[in-house]
Structures are given as C-alpha cells and as structure tokens.
Amino acid sequence: MNITIITVGKIKEKYLKDAIDEYSKRLGRYCKLDIIELVDEKTPDNASEKEEESIKEKEGQGILSKIKDNMFVIAMDLGGKHLTSEDFAGYIENLGITGNSNIAFIIGGSLGISKSVLARANYKLCFSKMTFPHQLFRVMLLEQVYRGFRIMKGEPYHK
C-alpha cells in the first residue's frame, strides 16, 4: 500500500520531527510512505474572509498539483466522519482490498482546506471537533495510520 501525506507547512520543532521520523520508520514495515510538505501562505492578522478564502485556494492549488489521478484522497476536515481506530483500520484495509491502495491524506494549513480540495476528496475524516496545530496533527495522523496497520495485521497495540 502507498500512503502519501500532503500537508501545508513545515515542521520546525525537533521533538515533532523526531516523532514523525519514528512513525515513518515504523510504517516502513507496512507501506510505502511519502510526505509532501507545501509552503503555507502568510495570513495577515486582520485578514478579511475574502482574503482567507483566497489564501486557502492558493494553498489548495498547491495541494491539487500533488494529487495523482489514481489516488484515493482522504481530507482531514472538521466536517468529516468520526471513526474509532478499529473502524479506521477497517476502512483503510477495505480500500486496499477494493483496489484503492494509493491513498493520499490531506492536512490543510491554519485556515483549513479549500473548497476545491474538499471537492476532489473521496472521503472526509475528522479526528476530533477540537482544533490542533497542523504540525502536531501530522504526528497524530501517522500514529493512527501505524495503529491501523497493527490492527489490520492482528498485532498487539495499546487500546
């Protein structure tokens, strides 16, 4: 299975880089992992709604340019579906069984994901109604993907 994470923003903190490296290494047993980092657009402090939409669309165009036609796109979105870790594992496993083994997860920037990217998404997933920094969320997503593969393989992992 091929997992691609397309994300807006760079990781600056060493402790987050270390966690990302650790989960990336662990995932190497289960899938081919590719992380694509895109530049986040600067948002003025008092940006209007129109300016924010423009920034999201600009970031969205960058995201769309990295999505290949054969990718099953899962957008991380507050309006998406909530799944347990077991349901998430089953969903990913089912994608592989049905021929969708090239999965792209999308993590937007601080303003979220553009309408054009959400329209391209095959599925919208929400981890929580809470908002998380996108740098930390990348670690959370990698951990859940790793947990999902462990569940799929029937291997022990914390509940």
Tokens 């939409």 belong to residue:
53
50 is in an annotated binding site: no
Structure tokens at 76: 């991380």
Amino acid, res. 137: F
Which residues are CB-contacts of 147 (< 8 A; sequence separation ≥ 6)?
85, 89, 157
Q: What angle (nearest 5°) sits at the alpha carbon of residue 69, between those of residues 8 and 86?
A: 65
1 is in an annotated binding site: no
130 is in an annotated binding site: yes
76 is in an annotated binding site: no
Residues 60 and 117: beta-carbon distance below 8 Å = yes
98 is in an annotated binding site: no
131 is in an annotated binding site: yes
Please state, in angstroms and rounded to a whole number, the distance separating the CA atoms of residues 27 and 83: 20
140 is in an annotated binding site: no
Please state, in angstroms and rounded to a whole number, the distance separating the CA atoms of residues 116 and 76: 14
Residue list, annotated binding site = 108, 127-132
Residue list, annotated binding site for S-adenosyl-L-methionine = 108, 127-132
